[in-house]
Chains A and B, each alone.
Chain A
């Protein structure tokens, strides 16, 4: 980590977005993670994505659980409210916050320990609720803050720094999200910003639960030889299946792509994500096909990445609950209190 205070200097030559803000306006405090940590690259991608989307920083609520990954919300969007929940319980905090105000942008940052071990139940249930949020798992296969224990995403045969070999099968959040009915399932790599930024943007704009698993090597405890979550291993077996381009325009720019290869998917707000498939037989709107493709490639040890599945029609929590469009927390009390006549009427039923 660095002990230098980061000065907030606005360089006049920095590009500005539609709101007139520079990327610096989307930053947070200085990271206290290890130098070279994959998480810091993800933070940078999150900053870039929100800046490119021209979202007012204070219209975002950022949240996390406990662990190295969960420290990162302080490193971006310092003008947004943030909350650091207890370990593995960020999904419930996000559910409540979203219940109170459906009109903010919600971004949750979690890790493989936070989401796949202690918080597996909450992760699965928030996905099942299809809560409208972006949920990033910064996945490094290891517990950093407690110094190097395997996490539930560690691959069989992967070796820990002290030599121990993992024997238990991993929990893959992408497979889990696909089989449990996730409406937006994506995987990326902290070292591939070009792929990551559009995926984050699409996830923010997706109307429902956007699960983005990001392989994010731990340079201190899990970046050695024989680790399957190292930079070297990830780069070697990296297999992008779908490239996503996020287009804010209401009109999909289809001309830029070859028809057979590109697949525009219109998002809820009218923006578009254009999927460019690397493999012709891959269909990111077919859950079963996506699953078998992943399964086949994972058997060969490949790490399949991209926007692997999307269903923009799946109803999110408020659509299912039939909640009013305004934020519940902003409703006037007069709209909530039935008043004395109603109280009398109701009590008469108990005579």
Chain B
């Protein structure tokens, strides 16, 4: 077999709770440090210990970030899933197993090379402690892979040093386990394999990070001071990150006092209430959650919309409906969030595609929420939020100043005759607000019940409609303020893809594959709702538009049909909703089949 460097997939099948995550992270980081583009996807159960878990590492010279659909090397550490894992290996691939115990001879494939390494035996001979034996077996396969794939051992040693900088004792143990695997393979196997790694310089200036970490960091940079939340997978690590960065950067050196306040609420209803109370009182406040949390928050979301209180919600989407599959990914909350709550409501949504956009859109979300005085949803998902992505380092504009929107200061209030909360002085549907405790003239009563433009209670049809119609105008103003779509197009091409969020990597790879097959397709990635004018124009300029999204009910397509003038016959859905991140194959075949059918007709 000819050697195939820097373009293959390693999948590690394991049991959760065995410490495999850190071993797998070490392996991926080592490849990244060798300058080779890499991406990792963690498929874990909603469980703490004992259930199957997989980690998939795609090494891609070209820098593709989606799953490829192949498995070139399977590390089968879980007897429970062995048969299935063997079946998953692509023809011509390899399967590494622990040869300490005898293997069921029935389980073999002619087109897969089996590599047995007595991992448990090697480790048990060197480690006494039972827990250490479990952990080190995983580190040991990293050593074996290092020999098989030609990973630079110096890189691994350096990584271990950094990881356990304050736990020196662990370095030696981990290194010993690495060497056990490495030396065994060097002695008994042909290595490196034809699938191997060759150093590159394609990761300079990049980091490996997950979206929740970058969103939490974005909240710190946006100047958020109040965070309220109720723990829910897969959003929990966002607040963990915010807390960690606040502890690093927001603690007064002199007094040790915190320039932030995080409240772990009793439920999501309280979490959003806390955000609204804080924002009403002038702080930048946010809550990270997932679909079930949004369902619970619905009443308060409508309240915030109608009373015009800014709020930032991160919906790190997971598989629904109901409890669904909490550790699997989906884009199933688009319609839920676009029109959350009873009555006529409509909300501003942002769609980040990767951790870098999670950082930037966190900041944008606070600016828009305060500019528009309304809830803003950052629609991340489990794939973006919890998996490590390779992204270029983000940069910060030192000239940035938060857009606090229209807020009357003490001096302005001092110099005016009378203040009314809901009068549209500027004609953009956005009114002026005041903060409590600033000036007696700024006082008004915030109510979710019917109110007129002066903020007074009303049951009068005309007064009620006056406010409701202005809210609609305000939402239209948002079209010009949300992030513009990213467009990749060639003149004269009449077929296009419209997609959003974490589909981006798979779509871009599909576009390359299609182009190689001679099919040119244009692409627009939506980044905000309500849709800006460019979305409308892009739809108008194409004859056939494939809408790629990760849910069953074509929710993005539904929004396009509801909120633009597009002819519904133009839109063809390509849907992926099983809970695994989308890959390019379904997109390529969906488009190729449709085009072939069209040509035949």
Contact = CB atoms under 8 A, between A and B. Distances in A.
A338 B220 CA distance: 8
Contacts of B172: none
A124 B267 CA distance: 12
A96 B449 contact: no
Nearest to B257: A324
B443 A337 contact: no
6 contacts: A58-B438, A58-B439, A92-B228, A95-B273, A322-B256, A328-B226
B446 interface: yes
A323 B261 CA distance: 7
A321 B225 CA distance: 13
Interface in B75-92: none
A117 interface: no
B432 interface: no
B255 A324 contact: yes
A121 B266 CA distance: 8
A58 B437 contact: yes
Interface stretch (B115-123, B276-284, B538-546): B276-284
Given A99-B263, A100-B283, A333-B402, A93 B277 contact: yes
Contacts of B273: 85, 89, 91-93, 95-96, 122
B448 A81 contact: no
Interface string A82-99: 111110010111111111
B443 A84 contact: no
B176 interface: no
B443 A78 contact: yes
Given A96-B274, A122-B270, A125-B270, A61 B281 contact: yes
Interface of A: 56-59, 61, 73-74, 78-86, 89, 91-101, 103-104, 121-122, 124-125, 129, 317-318, 321-325, 327-331, 333, 335-340, 342-344, 346-348, 350-351
A94 B281 CA distance: 10
Given A83-B445, A324-B257, A328-B283, A340 B270 contact: no
Nearest to A96: B277
Interface stretch (B244-252, B469-477, B565-573, B579-587): B244-252
B270 A342 contact: no
Given A328-B225, A343-B221, A95 B263 contact: yes
Contacts of B278: 96-97, 99-100, 329
- 9 closest Cβ contacts across the A-B interface? A96-B277, A92-B273, A100-B283, A81-B436, A96-B278, A329-B282, A96-B274, A100-B281, A93-B277
Contacts of A57: 440, 443
Contacts of A325: 257
B299 A86 contact: yes
A12 to B, nearest CB: 21
Contact of B225 (A85, A336, A338): A336
Contact of B261 (A321, A333, A344): A321
Main secondary structure of the interface of B (DSSP, over half): mixed
Interface in B211-259: 213, 217, 220-221, 223, 225-226, 228, 245, 248-250, 252, 255-259
B103 interface: no
Q: Which of B261, B270, B434, B448 has the most CB of A within 10 A?
A: B261
Contact of A323 (B221, B257, B275): B257
Contacts of B393: 344, 347
B400 to A, nearest CB: 8
Interface in B362-402: 393-396, 398, 400-402
A84 B282 contact: no
A82 B445 contact: yes
Contact of A92 (B269, B401, B440, B457): B269
B364 to A, nearest CB: 15
A66 to B, nearest CB: 8
Contacts of B270: 89, 91-92, 95, 121-122, 125
B206 to A, nearest CB: 8
Contacts of A86: 299-300, 303, 448
B209 interface: yes
B300 A89 contact: yes
Contact of B262 (A97, A103, A321, A348): A321
A128 to B, nearest CB: 8
B256 to A, nearest CB: 7
B207 interface: yes
B257 A99 contact: no
A337 B366 CA distance: 14
B447 interface: yes
B526 interface: no
B248 A84 contact: no
B351 to A, nearest CB: 23
A322 B247 CA distance: 12
A97 B436 contact: yes
Contact of A338 (B221, B258, B445): B221
B458 to A, nearest CB: 13
A342 B442 contact: no
